[in-house]
């Protein structure tokens, strides 16, 4: 067992249940195809990392899917909102004995193994590492112990999440990674030819 763990939060890829804001422009079927490609990209980015890896499913743990059980631990998200679900995943990881834990989503086309490795490295000298997203949220959050306040009183999915999180952590040593863009709406696709081809 590694002392480092990356948590991957995913939505089960079901028609009409993923990328709903994107689907308003391109339809449910194309939104599902985009999300399926993003899941594959996330797997390709994480599968060869030297840390341990855990996939957290939104609805139901799937067997025989793209996440190989020899590489990825499998869990179900637990909690009423995103904050509680993330907090529970971090608590589970620390209770298992991990010393550095990072969480990422599964809708980033630009995320690379280097971003994740750099985040683990920065935790050597920082309490928390955050990967800021262009929409005001974050695509990566890493820590060495639980910070309960950052999972509470947030309007998840809005532009205030990162600002409020940084405010909660003002007494801690924080570092920010490169800003990236997650894929939520049609405009986000325009930077990626391979995604536009699907439409």
Residues 6+ away with beta carbon under 8 Å from 148:
87
Q: Which domain holds residue 152?
A: 4-196
Strand partners, 57: 10, 76
pLDDT at position 49, please?
97
Residue ranges of E strands in the chain? 4-10, 52-57, 72-76, 100-104, 128-132, 138-143, 174-176
pLDDT at position 196, please?
83
pLDDT (tens, 9 = 90+) of the chain, 199 residues, equals 789 999 999 999 999 999 998 999 999 999 999 999 999 999 999 999 999 999 999 989 999 999 999 999 999 999 999 999 999 999 999 999 999 999 999 989 999 999 999 999 999 999 999 999 988 889 999 999 999 999 998 888 778 899 999 999 999 999 999 999 888 888 888 888 888 888 7
> What is this structure's pTM?
0.94
CATH of the domain at 122: 3.90.550.10
CA distance linking residue 115 with residue 117, whole number of Å: 6
- DSSP string of 142-161, one letter each residue: EESS--GGGGSS--TTSTTH
Distances (CA, A) of 74 to 30, 52, 55, 123: 27, 12, 5, 25
Domain total for the chain? Answer: 1
């Amino acid at each position: 067992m590694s002392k480092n763990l990356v948590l991957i939060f995913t939505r089960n890829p079901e028609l009409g249940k993923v990328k709903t804001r994107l689907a308003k422009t391109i339809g449910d079927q194309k939104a599902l195809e985009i999300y399926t490609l993003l899941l594959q990209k996330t797997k390709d980015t994480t599968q060869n990392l030297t840390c341990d890896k855990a996939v957290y499913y939104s609805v139901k743990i799937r067997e025989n899917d793209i996440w190989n059980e020899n590489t990825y631990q499998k869990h179900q998200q637990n909690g009423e909102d995103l904050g509680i679900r993330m907090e529970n995943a971090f608590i589970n990881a620390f209770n298992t004995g991990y010393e550095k834990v990072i969480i990422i989503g599964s809708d980033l086309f630009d995320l690379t193994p280097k971003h994740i490795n750099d985040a683990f490295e920065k935790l050597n000298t920082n309490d928390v590492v955050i990967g800021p997203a262009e929409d005001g949220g974050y695509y990566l959050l890493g820590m060495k112990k639980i910070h309960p306040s950052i999972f509470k009183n947030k309007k998840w999915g809005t532009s205030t999440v990162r600002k409020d999180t940084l405010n909660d952590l003002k007494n801690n040593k924080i570092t920010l990674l490169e800003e990236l863009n997650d894929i939520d709406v049609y405009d986000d696709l325009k930077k990626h030819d391979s995604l536009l081809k699907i439409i």
